[in-house]
Amino acid sequence: MLNEYNPHLEYKGGELYLEGLSLKALAEQFGTPLYLYSASYIRERLRAYKKAFPEALICYAVKANFNPHIIALAKEEGAGADIVSGGELYASLKAGIEPSKIVYAGVGKTLRELEYAISSDILMFNVESFMELDVLDELAGKLGRKVRIAIRVNPDVDPKTHPYISTGMKKSKFGVDIKTAKKEYEYAGRLKNLQVVGIHCHIGSQILDVSPYIEAAQKVVELYYELVRSGFEIEYIDMGGGLGIKYSPDQSNPEPADLAEAILPAIKDTKAKLILEPGRSVVGNGGVLLTQVQFLKDKGHKHFVIVDAGMNDLVRPAMYSAYHHIVPVEKKERPYVKTDVVGPVCETGDFLALDRELPLVERGEYLAVLSAGAYGFAMSSHYNLRPKACEVLVEKGSYRVIRERESYEYIIG
């Protein structure tokens, strides 16, 4: 069952292993909370994208996990990067991603960030408003550059996912509707320091049923032909990211090939190169968060397992009521009890699981929180002044620390 999350995750002799390494031994060596990532898994997912979309440029969405060593895996597998900040540009360049494979989205790019990205000569800016067009044009002029842009359009399809991560609908702050987009394209076409080269859209995240992509691709391709008829040379159609992953036992890990079946029929007759920006579906199930049981507490009707990882380490359960599967690192025969797995943070919302049937665990045991590779460490914070976790990358029986555990001195100075 665990191998449906990640084929490199398995129990052997009653103990959990990732890529042949004992999780208990790693937890003892590096302490907890500890993020572990499986390099083979991440490479396999990138290869699956490449195989399903041989002609496309795959730009790994750095926001899912910005560790430069993780970005470097994407680079080694031939991917580019999708970024949303100057920081992500810095990390991507540091990891060796070629600027000609970097696309930059985001509603609130600052002057400093725009300048950094223009000087780095990235592939394309995915512009989200009229005002951004003006600012970008002016800045490009000052820097003596011509800047390649796409406009982010909202095809207004319902991705049927959590409202906080639905981005392609009319009411969201992202992009513009197709009608406004046409006006923006005309406007951008008149700005002398901008070169219109693409169409961008991203409909949402954690999308398990690929049918919304069919509709989105059709709408984007309709716009493509309209723009081509108006004289634009659209070289890129960027369909964003969003493919979901298995979090709970009843879900499955959709394959990039499923996404290809939804998107490619609409795109294949255009002359544009396809860009995709997958994040979660590349790294999500490549990561596990290891945590240690500190205390057990019974309140009559409630059994609490208090662990050393909290919402500061993994905020998804608190923020989206997200389900993350949790398993003990040591597997043995024992009764199951309805459990709340909670962290040490002073918030009622600080939980990793609520009312979950879990084996009765003991103080000092380690638990593995699955599907933690995407939007885990990347969304972690120092709340309650908790140093950020250590990150370790494992591959075929070997490991390396890719981020040291923080010290109090590092945070406070």
Q: Which stretch binds ligand LLP (CB under 6 A): 236-244, 261-269, 288-296, 343-351?
A: 236-244
Residue nearer to ligand LLP on the CB measure, 211 or 230: 211
CB pairs under 8 A, 24+ apart, for 298-304? Answer: 302/340, 303/337, 303/338, 303/339, 303/340, 304/339, 304/340, 304/342
Give the active site residue among 59, 201, 346, 390. 346
How many amino acids of this chain bind ligand LLP (CB under 6 A)?
23
- Asked whether position 61 contacts ligand LLP by CB under 6 A, the answer is yes
Give bridge partners of residue 247 from the DSSP assignment: none
Q: Which of 16, 46, 64, 149 binds ligand LLP (CB under 6 A)?
A: 64
> Least CB distance from residue 124 to ligand LLP, whole Å?
12
Residue nearer to ligand LLP on the CB measure, 27 or 201: 201
Burial classification of residue 9, based on how many CB atoms lie within 10 Å of its CB (0-12 exposed, 13-18 middle, 19 or more buried):
buried
How far apart CA 398 and CA 393 sit, in angstroms, is 8
Instruction: Choose among 72, 219, 61, 247: nearest CA to 154.
Output: 219
Residue nearer to ligand LLP on the CB measure, 148 or 292: 148
User: Mind spelling out the 3-state secondary structure of 1-48?
Assistant: CHHHCCCCEEEECCEEEECCEEHHHHHHHHCCCEEEEEHHHHHHHHHH
- Asked whether position 318 contacts ligand LLP by CB under 6 A, the answer is no
- Asked whether position 240 contacts ligand LLP by CB under 6 A, the answer is yes
User: Contacts with ligand LLP in 157-196 (CB under 6 A)?
Assistant: 165, 167
> Least CB distance from residue 284 to ligand LLP, whole Å?
8
- Asked whether position 205 contacts ligand LLP by CB under 6 A, the answer is yes
> Least CB distance from residue 78 to ligand LLP, whole Å?
18
The DSSP secondary-structure symbol of 101 reads G
User: Contacts with ligand LLP in 362-391 (CB under 6 A)?
Assistant: 374-375
Residue nearer to ligand LLP on the CB measure, 30 or 104: 104
- Asked whether position 105 contacts ligand LLP by CB under 6 A, the answer is yes
- Asked whether position 206 contacts ligand LLP by CB under 6 A, the answer is yes
> Least CB distance from residue 106 to ligand LLP, whole Å?
8
Q: How far is CA 45 from CA 42, 253, 257, 258, 283, in A?
A: 5, 11, 11, 13, 8
346 is catalytic: yes
151 contacts: CB under 8 Å, gap ≥ 6: 126, 127, 175, 176, 181, 184, 185, 188, 196, 199, 200
DSSP per position, 167-235 = -SSTTSSSSEEHHHHHHHHHHHHH-TTEEEEEEE---BSSB-S-HHHHHHHHHHHHHHHHHHHTT----
Q: Which stretch binds ligand LLP (CB under 6 A): 10-18, 57-65, 216-224, 357-365?
A: 57-65
Cβ pair 60, 52 in contact under 8 A: no
Q: Which stretch binds ligand LLP (CB under 6 A): 20-28, 88-96, 143-151, 274-282?
A: 274-282
User: Contacts with ligand LLP in 73-92 (CB under 6 A)?
Assistant: 82
> Least CB distance from residue 237 to ligand LLP, whole Å?
14
> Least CB distance from residue 298 to ligand LLP, whole Å?
32
How far apart CA 344 and CA 143 sit, in angstroms, is 50
Residues identified as active-site: 346
- What is the contact surface with ligand LLP in residues (CB under 6 A)? 61, 63-64, 82, 105, 165, 167, 202, 205-206, 240-243, 277-281, 316, 320, 374-375
